[in-house]
Structure 1
Amino acid sequence: MSPLLKIRSERDQMSAIERRIADYLLENAHLLRDYSSQQLANALGISQSSVVKFSQKLGFKGYPDLKYSIGEAVARGHGQDDAHAVESVHADPHAALAERLWHGKARAEEETRLINPAERIDAIAELIQDARRVFIIGLGEDGIPARALAMKLAMIGILSVHHFDPVLMTASTATANQNDLLLVFSELGKQTALCHLARTFGEAGGKVVSVTRHTPNPLRAHADFSLLVSAHDERAHVEPLLYQSALQHLLDLIFILLCERGQGRLSQLDSNAERIQDMLDT
């Protein structure tokens, strides 16, 4: 795995000092060959030992190994995703913008895939497959992918109950037991109402899956499993787009697993799609 990709994917779990080092490395990867650990520490106003510990935490023997690995990644082009966009900006500004956005989405998807191991994805797909009822909730923008997933599950014959109001969801889950599943979408995982809902659902014996950013947050603490999303961009208007794209790719992967592993799911999907089309055509 590219060290730059590893740094990006683990950034949300880092301390404040570690994030400063990570951001500096990501932004100045092409300049690191000229930096010693002491020079890097001086540039950031931190101790040299912090740089060494950061390198070791990433799995390297020390800073020289990390610097060499980053240098190789840059030489292969891993640290310069926007290179083609920069070259083509004079010819077609829209193409350059689209290419940069595409690289950002691809990077976010790769980071997200790396922090969600296959065994976790399989376990969550199995929970959805075997659940008596799948309750799904998300507030605000989190409600958009939540609603879309609920509809997809219904199309393949999985009973799903979607709400965008935690009060209504609390009422709906009053009879929940160990055969039920709750999926809670919350980018930051800090909404008190959702944390309360997840806790009470778990106390009733049901399983809880949280869908959040790759950060420590209260909602994850109440979940049996967590789907994690890693998406970063210095532009505040772009970062949400990367998050939504990476999240959708993750949900699509689970949906495909459910379709292809569940007996009769694909035929159910075709049948429901045909019924809906007939209704729209009349």
Structure 2
Amino acid sequence: MISLKNIINSHQSTLTKSELVICDYLLENSELIKNMTLLELSQKTYSSKTNVLRLLKKIGFSGFIDFKYYLLAQDTESDSIPFLNLINKKIAAIDIDSISVKLNHLVNESNNIFLFGTGQDQQIQAKNLKNYLLKSGIISTFIPLNINAELTNTVLSSLTSDDLIIVFSSKGDNDLLKKYFKDLNRHNTQLVSFTTFKDGWIQKQSELSISLGIEQFQDPILTYQSGMMHLLLNIISTKIQINS
């Protein structure tokens, strides 16, 4: 794999001084960036999200998530085949075909789809699924669960049996989830959950539970859970389409 330094050097003549400053940060802090959001990276480089994305596209990446995938792949190449094999096994253990069929059915049978994310990573994942659905012609609404309580309460109080809730959570077992979704059954609203860990509270409430199945505190690939979830979403989304 071509190193990040070589990638940047090959584009150096086309980069502005401010873009070169961002590049210096990318080279010196690649380990930290793997766990950052785009907003955090822009703040660390005293730039805007737009400028960071413009730079990444200049040097050959489709976006921030693509860049993080590259850093992840660079990790697995350097240490690494063992980690890559573990990731492949985790993904292969997920019954993607069965999940995709059921998710496709739930999405197509729903009048309204609401996507919730508990933390920053989970909110990015929810937004990505929203974009994937939109590309398939399916409109959904994203709500950051830990920020807009008023909007969350308004949505949940108006749910019907024709609506679909999709929740992204790492553990699937925190007080915030229990607060908002403990009475969901009385609406007969379908619930889909995407989680890193297995056997959490939210999974037991879900019509469809989608988990990476990572063991909390023990699994050596825990570091890569965010990239794995984005990969899983990408694979599943290719199978979602509007029923004719």
- Shared topology, TM-score over 0.5? yes
The answer for the alignment partner of 1:161 in structure 2 is 141
Counterpart contact for 2:198–2:215, Cα < 8 Å: no
Distance of 1:253 and 1:95 partners within structure 2: 21
Bigger CA radius of gyration: 1
Is residue 208 of structure 1 aligned with residue 191 of structure 2? yes
With normalisation by structure 2, the TM-score equals 0.59
CA deviation profile, 1:202-240 (whole Å, cap 9, x unmatched) = 32111001111342211112211100103479899x844
Counterpart contact for 1:133–1:158, Cα < 8 Å: no
Query: SS in structure 2 opposite 1:223?
Result: coil
Is residue 128 of structure 1 aligned with residue 114 of structure 2? no
Alignment partner for residue 146 of structure 1, among 117, 120, 126?
A: 126
The amino acid that maps onto 2:109 is D
CA deviation profile, 1:93-124 (whole Å, cap 9, x unmatched) = x9676343565245324323314363233112
The answer for the alignment partner of 1:60 in structure 2 is none
Judged with a 3 Å threshold, the aligned counterparts in structure 2 of structure 1 residues 232 and 155 are, in CA distance, closer, same or farther, namely same
Counterpart contact for 2:96–2:236, Cα < 8 Å: no
With normalisation by structure 1, the TM-score equals 0.51
The amino acid that maps onto 2:141 is V
Is residue 255 of structure 1 aligned with residue 237 of structure 2? yes
Counterpart contact for 1:125–1:254, Cα < 8 Å: no
Query: SS in structure 1 opposite 2:170?
Result: coil
Distance of 1:119 and 1:103 partners within structure 2: 28
The answer for the alignment partner of 2:165 in structure 1 is 182
Counterpart contact for 1:108–1:246, Cα < 8 Å: yes
Judged with a 3 Å threshold, the aligned counterparts in structure 2 of structure 1 residues 241 and 255 are, in CA distance, closer, same or farther, namely same
Alpha-carbon distance, 1:162 to partner: 0.5
Q: Which sits farther off after the overlay, 120-129 or 107-116? A: 107-116
The answer for the alignment partner of 1:119 in structure 2 is 98
Q: Which sits farther off after the overlay, 105-114 or 156-165? A: 105-114
The answer for the alignment partner of 2:227 in structure 1 is 245
Q: How many residues align?
A: 168
Unaligned residue ranges in structure 2 (runs of 5+): 1-72
RMSD: 3.0
Judged with a 3 Å threshold, the aligned counterparts in structure 2 of structure 1 residues 244 and 206 are, in CA distance, closer, same or farther, namely same
The amino acid that maps onto 2:226 is Q
Query: SS in structure 2 opposite 1:134?
Result: strand
Distance of 1:96 and 1:222 partners within structure 2: 36
Counterpart contact for 1:138–1:186, Cα < 8 Å: yes
The amino acid that maps onto 1:250 is L
CA deviation profile, 1:129-187 (whole Å, cap 9, x unmatched) = 22111111112221110111112212322121111135222312321111111111111
Distance of 2:117 and 2:111 partners within structure 1: 20
Is residue 194 of structure 1 aligned with residue 173 of structure 2? no
Q: Among the aligned pairs, what percent are the same residue?
A: 16
Alpha-carbon distance, 1:262 to partner: 4.2
Unaligned residue ranges in structure 1 (runs of 5+): 1-93, 264-282
Query: SS in structure 2 opposite 1:258?
Result: coil
Distance of 1:169 and 1:233 partners within structure 2: 28
Distance of 2:82 and 2:158 partners within structure 1: 45
Query: SS in structure 2 opposite 1:184?
Result: strand
Structure with greater helix percent: 1
The answer for the alignment partner of 1:19 in structure 2 is none
CA deviation profile, 1:46-80 (whole Å, cap 9, x unmatched) = xxxxxxxxxxxxxxxxxxxxxxxxxxxxxxxxxxx
